Amino acid sequence: MTIHKEGYKSIGIAALVFGLINIASFIFLGTDYPKTAAIIFSASVILFLFIVSFFRIPRRLLTSGETHVVCPADGKVVVIEEVVDEEYFKDRRIQVSIFMSPANVHVNRNPMSGEVLYSKYHKGKYLVAWHPKSSTENERYSVVVKNEKAEILVKQIAGALAKRIVNYLKVGQSVNQGEELGFIKFGSRVDVLLPIGTKINVELNQVVKGGVTVLATL
């Protein structure tokens, strides 16, 4: 397991706060209230390790295949439905949404290889990620990738806790399946919009792994 580059600053700040809190605790409480100081130390260690876990990149064998659309994120499938995409396609698509909890790995990966045709950041709200309108009203980053098999749209969506979306893709760029698409700090949601008729290989409430679980077959 390694730590993602997006976590260096956050972990550094957390380490500094951890150190200051515990130095002050042991100076002012260590002698007269050792149990209280020990509780503060234990609680701050747990919190610090939890923050570190947000930015972990576990080692895993990634899935690849020309006809496969792999999950772009770790989490749980919360939506599988037909929708009308008003942003790019202007027609009906199958939407599959993955909810990322704070405990999930937060790296987002390319569902398939291809060329980036569209990449746009949208300012918006911070509704909870499972809210029906979060897909269209929340802060988000939309990317369209096309290859010989299909053209799909991936949305990184902010939520109540997620306040920063990072996206690495640019229009005209060639991307490979499984490579990093971006990062959402502290969880949220990722939507994938697929062509009508695509075979969906996941079910509602299924737990999936980014870059590993086959979301759909083209």
Average pLDDT of every residue of the chain: 91
Classify 68-217 by CATH class. Answer: mainly beta
Strands, sheet with 180-184, edge to edge from the N-terminal-most edge strand: 107-109, 180-184, 165-167
Distance CA 198, CA 218 (A): 6
Match 């390694």 to its residue by tokens. 2
CA distance 97 to 175: 21
With cut-offs at 50, 70 and 90, classify the pLDDT of residue 1: confident
User: With pLDDT > 90 as the criterion, what percentage of the chain qualifies?
Assistant: 72
Average pLDDT of the residues in 5-24:
93
Residue 64: its pLDDT value, please? Answer: 94
List 25, 97, 113, 188, catalytic entry:
188
Confidence band, pLDDT 50/70/90 cuts, at residue 7: confident
The reply to whether 188 belongs to the active site is yes
Backbone dihedral angles phi then psi of residue 42, each to the nearest 5 degrees: -65, -45
Mutual angle of helices 34-54 and 8-28, in 10-degree steps: 180
Count of residues in the chain: 218
d(CA 106, CA 74): 7
User: Above 70 in pLDDT, residue 119?
Assistant: yes
CA–CA distance, 71 with 75 (Å, rounded to integer): 9
User: Residue 93 in contact with residue 194, Cβ under 8 Å?
Assistant: yes
The predicted structure's pLDDT at residue 41: 94
176: buried, middle or exposed (CB in 10 Å: 19+, 13-18, 0-12)? exposed
Beta-carbon contacts of residue 101 (< 8 Å; ≥ 6 apart): 75, 76, 187
* Euclidean distance between CA atoms 108 and 194, whole angstroms: 17
- Whole-angstrom Cα distance, residue 164 to residue 126? 11
Q: Is 13 exposed, middle or buried (0-12, 13-18, 19+ CB in 10 A)?
A: exposed
